[in-house]
C-alpha cells in the first residue's frame, strides 16, 4: 500500500523534521531492492502554505480522482462538474507536488491508497 503523509511543521519543529527525513532516507536505503514502504511525506511550514497548494477544490479533486481511478482530465472535470481548464490547472499544481501522477496512457491518477494529514497546533505555554 502506498501512503502519503501531509504535515504542517513550524520552524521550531525544523530540527525534528530534518531528523525524521534522515531516518526515512536511511530506512529506504536499507530496504534496498525490497522497495520502500516509507510514506511519501509533504511538509508545509504553515497552514497558509498548505492551503495555497491544497485548496478545498483541489482536495475535492484528489478525493474524486481516488474514487474514479485513472482518468483523463476532461473525464475528471465532467465527473466533478468543473471547468476543464481549471481542473487542468489544479492537476498540474498537484502533479508538481507529487500528489497526482500521469500514467503511460496519459491518464492522471492519485498514486496513493491512503493520504494522511498530520497537523499539530500548540498553545504558547506548550
Query: In this predicted structure, what is the pLDDT of residue 90?
Result: 98
Query: In this predicted structure, what is the pLDDT of residue 33?
Result: 46
- Which CA distances in Å does 123 have to 13, 14, 91, 126? 14, 18, 35, 5
- Which CA distances in Å does 13 have to 7, 17, 50, 117? 11, 6, 16, 16
Query: In this predicted structure, what is the pLDDT of residue 64?
Result: 95
Tell me the domains of the chain and their CATH numbers. Answer: 3-119 (1.10.10.10)
Query: In this predicted structure, what is the pLDDT of residue 34?
Result: 46
Task: Report the C-alpha dihedral over residues 47, 10, 112, 70, rounded to 10 degrees.
Answer: 40
pLDDT of the chain, 126 residues: tens digit per residue: 788 888 887 655 566 666 766 776 676 666 654 455 678 888 888 889 999 999 999 999 999 999 999 999 999 999 999 999 999 999 999 999 999 999 999 999 999 999 998 777 777 665
- Provide the whole-model pTM: 0.76
Alpha-carbon distance 108 to 96, whole Å?
13
Alpha-carbon distance 113 to 35, whole Å?
16
Amino acid at each position: 500500500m502506498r501512503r502519503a503523509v501531509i504535515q504542517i511543521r513550524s520552524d521550531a519543529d525544523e530540527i525534528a523534521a530534518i531528523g525524521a527525513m534522515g531516518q526515512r532516507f536511511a530506512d529506504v536505503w536499507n530496504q534496498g531492492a525490497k522497495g520502500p514502504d516509507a510514506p511519501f511525506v509533504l511538509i508545509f511550514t504553515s497552514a497558509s502554505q498548505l492551503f495555497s497548494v491544497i485548496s478545498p477544490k483541489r482536495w475535492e479533486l484528489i478525493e474524486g480522482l481516488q474514487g474514479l481511478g485513472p482518468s483523463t482530465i476532461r473525464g475528471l472535470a465532467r465527473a466533478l462538474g468543473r471547468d476543464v481548464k481549471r481542473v487542468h490547472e489544479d492537476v498540474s499544481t498537484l502533479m508538481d507536488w507529487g500528489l497526482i501522477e500521469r500514467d503511460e496512457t496519459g491518464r492522471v491518477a492519485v498514486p496513493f491508497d491512503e493520504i494522511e494529514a498530520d497537523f499539530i497546533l500548540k498553545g504558547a505555554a506548550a
